């Protein structure tokens, strides 16, 4: 079975600017894959080269074994893409939009499946509403539905939850998780790292057009995240002694956060606080998460691919 | 075939849903041209013997409406999809470049013919325009609207903003249309202008179209047909090439 998506040595330039720098990436069928990176890292550009919206300057891209340029028809039939920008055709209703999108893929009568995705995405009572009058979140759901009309084995979602309220985000993820369980390969980008951590089993991190990390979610967190976060709630009107200030990484809900490398440092921190006569009201030790890895990677300059 | 038919259906529905703007309004404005030119020029001009100026004018105006609306349809559909971004749904699909091209121009032909038929039918309430040879009328109306539809595809892909599209229309399409003998027979022009008119492909569309009504024209309709087919082929190949290369559509 071919890889769901195979990106080999892809470079993409906009003028002299290098948006994708020798990207090598293989995503297997059935994976739930996260493509992460700060704004401008090249995530959307990479998705565009996979979808044929943009053409790589060098290297090759295959979707389910079909080359995205020379075999674009087969490749595009295997792929459903939810673009990052909120776009719609103001001339049509939700149902018309989905019927037309099915037709583009050569499906003359898709009523049963359209009804199913409309229901599963909570669009049933908007089916005959004009696209123009839908809220942003609803338009986003229609875009997801449009990407699914031809039941593609590979689905790519570019920031599907940007600007979407919490409740919708949750139901959208439930739906996408269900699709993954049914066998679809899912690739997504998101700025909500806790969502990616909860959903995805593998991650690639992009920075300046380069893949700087590619690993399973578990490995990435256990190997890349150094240290823990110690949260302390101090007695009111006191502050950390100067010696500890440099370990402080933040302040949340009235707790100060200290970065530590291992458990043994807790001992000395507590000793220093006791010496300074400061009482601790609450204490919590946080395990590293994807966000720590992300911050680490984005601040370091060494590539960490394995 | 389903993919192509769906895109064609979508393009037809797009203008049909706003038929007031896309069909009725151009019919009315073309009739205003007829009214004004007829009143200004009726006493002065007799182009063909026994043909009143109004009746001479009608086929030219019908063809002008056919061409302008074919151009407007393809170009505005293309630029609207591009600017609003929803062209992405076509670009993501497995539709071929030729399917996209033919869907756009066939919808343009349909709109051109509808507006042209509307203008013709209304004028027949007041005048009686002979029909000498309907086949020529159909051939030139279809090829002319196809050619302008293809030009519309090119302009719509090329233009990044609406004012660039308006410039294309104002500096290329409208002058070529107005200087193509819609309002006069070029025999009444000084030799230099006659020569320039012969370089204008739009002239042959109007001339051939008019032949279908009166059985008389400046050039043989076969000559006009060859020139129009050559232009249609060249413009279509350019449009398909632009679509294939992804010019301004795929980075
Ligand atoms: N059409 C374009 N022309 C010029 N530069 C572009 C174009 N598209 C993207 N870029 C640049 O490429 C870089 C990557 O953009 P993008 O792929 O959208 O990043 P991301 O999706 O990770 O936020 C950015 O610096 C962006 O400015
Ligand atoms: Mg992006």
Instruction: Dump pLDDT digits (tens) for B64-84.
Output: 999 999 999 999 999 999 999
Calculate Rg over the CA atoms of chain B. Answer: 18
For chain A, the average pLDDT equals: 90
Q: What is the pLDDT of residues B26-68, one digit of tens each?
A: 999 999 988 888 787 776 667 777 788 888 889 999 999 999 9
- Counting residues of chain A whose pLDDT is more than 90, the rounded percentage is 61
Task: Give chain B's domain count.
Answer: 1
Predicted TM-score of the model (pTM):
0.89
- Looking at the CA of residue A47, tell me the nearest atom of ligand 1: 17
pLDDT of residue B164 exceeding 90: yes
Question: CB–CB of B89 and A89 under 8 A?
Answer: yes
pLDDT of residue A299 exceeding 80: no
* pLDDT at residue A147 in the model: 97
Please tell me the residue having the least CA distance from ligand 1 atom 17.
A42
Report, at the CATH architecture level, how domain A227-287 is classified: 2-Layer Sandwich (3.30)
pLDDT of residue B120 exceeding 90: yes
Please tell me the residue having the least CA distance from ligand 1 atom 16.
A42
- Residues from chain A that touch B5, judged by Cβ atoms under 8 A, are 103
- Looking at the CA of residue A42, tell me the nearest atom of ligand 1: 17
β A255-260/A185-189 pair status: unpaired
Inside any domain, residue B201? yes
* pLDDT at residue A306 in the model: 44
Q: Which of A13, A15, A44, A160 to mutate to test the pocket of ligand 1 (most atoms within 8 A of CB)?
A: A44
- Domain A1-78+152-226+288-306 belongs to what topology? Rossmann fold (3.40.50)
Question: CB–CB of B251 and A77 under 8 A?
Answer: no
Inside any domain, residue B223? yes
Please, which pLDDT band fits residue A103 given cuts at 50, 70 and 90?
very high
* pLDDT at residue B45 in the model: 67
For chain B, the average pLDDT equals: 93
d(CA B71, CA B218): 25
- Looking at the CA of residue A209, tell me the nearest atom of ligand 1: 14
- Counting residues of chain A whose pLDDT is more than 70, the rounded percentage is 97
Sequence ranges of the domains in chain A? 1-78+152-226+288-306, 94-148, 227-287
Inside any domain, residue B197? yes
Q: Is A220 helix (H, G, I), strand (E, B) or coil?
A: helix
* pLDDT at residue A252 in the model: 78
Residue B60 domain boundaries: 2-245
Inside any domain, residue B39? yes
Inside any domain, residue B41? yes
pLDDT of residue B156 exceeding 50: yes
d(CA A235, CA A229): 19
Q: What is the pLDDT of residues A46-66, one digit of tens each?
A: 999 999 999 999 999 999 999
Strands (E), chain A: 5-14, 17-27, 32-36, 58-63, 66-67, 79-82, 154-158, 185-189, 202-207, 210-216, 228-234, 248-252, 255-260, 280-286, 304-305
B145 Cα: distance to centroid of ligand 1 (angstroms): 39
């Amino acid at each position: 079975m071919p890889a769901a998506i195979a990106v080999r040595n892809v470079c993409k330039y906009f003028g002299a600017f290098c948006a994708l720098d020798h990207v090598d990436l293989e995503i297997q069928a059935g994976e739930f894959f996260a493509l992460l990176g700060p704004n401008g890292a090249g995530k959307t550009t990479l998705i565009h080269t996979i979808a044929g919206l943009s053409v790589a300057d060098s290297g090759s891209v295959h979707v389910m074994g079909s080359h995205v340029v020379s075999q674009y028809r087969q490749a595009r039939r295997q792929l459903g893409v939810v673009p990052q920008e909120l776009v719609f055709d103001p001339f049509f209703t939700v149902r018309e939009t989905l019927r037309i999108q099915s037709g583009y893929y050569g499906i003359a009568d898709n009523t049963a499946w359209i009804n199913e995705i409309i229901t599963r995405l909570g669009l049933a009572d908007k089916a005959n509403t004009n696209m123009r009058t839908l809220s942003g979140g609803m338009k986003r759901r229609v875009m997801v539905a449009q990407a699914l009309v031809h039941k593609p084995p590979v689905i790519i979602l570019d920031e599907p939850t940007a600007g979407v309220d919490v409740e919708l985000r949750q139901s959208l993820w439930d739906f996408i998780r269900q699709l993954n369980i049914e066998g679809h390969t899912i690739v997504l980008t998101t700025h909500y790292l806790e969502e990616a951590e909860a959903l995805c089993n593998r991650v690639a991190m992009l920075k300046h057009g380069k893949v700087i990390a590619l690993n399973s979610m578990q490995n990435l967190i256990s190997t890349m995240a150094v240290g823990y976060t110690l949260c302390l709630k101090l007695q009111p009107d006191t502050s950390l002694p100067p010696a500890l200030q440099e370990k402080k990484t933040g302040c949340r809900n009235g707790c100060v956060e200290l970065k530590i490398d291992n458990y043994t440092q807790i001992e000395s921190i507590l000793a220093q606080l006791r010496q300074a006569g400061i009482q601790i009201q609450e204490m919590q030790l946080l395990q590293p998460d994807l966000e720590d890895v992300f911050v680490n990677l984005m601040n370091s300059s060494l590539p960490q691919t394995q | 075939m389903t993919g192509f038919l769906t895109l064609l259906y979508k393009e037809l529905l797009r203008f049909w849903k706003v038929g007031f703007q896309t069909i009725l309004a151009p019919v009315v404005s073309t009739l205003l041209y007829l009214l004004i030119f007829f009143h200004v020029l009726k006493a002065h001009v007799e182009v063909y013997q026994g043909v009143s100026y109004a009746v001479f004018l009608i086929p030219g105006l019908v063809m002008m409406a056919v061409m302008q609306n074919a151009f407007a349809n393809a170009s505005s559909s293309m630029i609207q999809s591009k600017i609003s971004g929803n062209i992405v749904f076509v670009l993501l699909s497995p539709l071929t470049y030729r399917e996209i091209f033919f869907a756009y121009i066939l919808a343009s032909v349909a709109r051109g013919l509808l507006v042209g038929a509307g203008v013709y039918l209304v004028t027949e309430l007041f005048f009686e325009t002979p029909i000498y040879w309907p086949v020529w009328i159909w051939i030139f109306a279809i090829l002319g609207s196809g050619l302008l539809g293809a030009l519309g595809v090119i302009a719509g892909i090329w233009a990044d903003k609406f004012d660039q599209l308006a410039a294309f229309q104002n500096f290329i399409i409208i002058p070529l249309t107005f200087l193509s003998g819609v309002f006069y027979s070029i025999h009444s022009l000084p030799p230099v202008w006659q020569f320039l008119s012969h370089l204008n492909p739009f002239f042959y569309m109007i001339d051939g179209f008019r032949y279908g009504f009166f059985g008389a024209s400046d050039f043989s309709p076969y000559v006009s047909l060859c020139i129009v087919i050559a232009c249609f082929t060249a413009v279509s190949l350019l449009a398909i090439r632009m679509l294939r290369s992804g010019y301004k559509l795929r980075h």
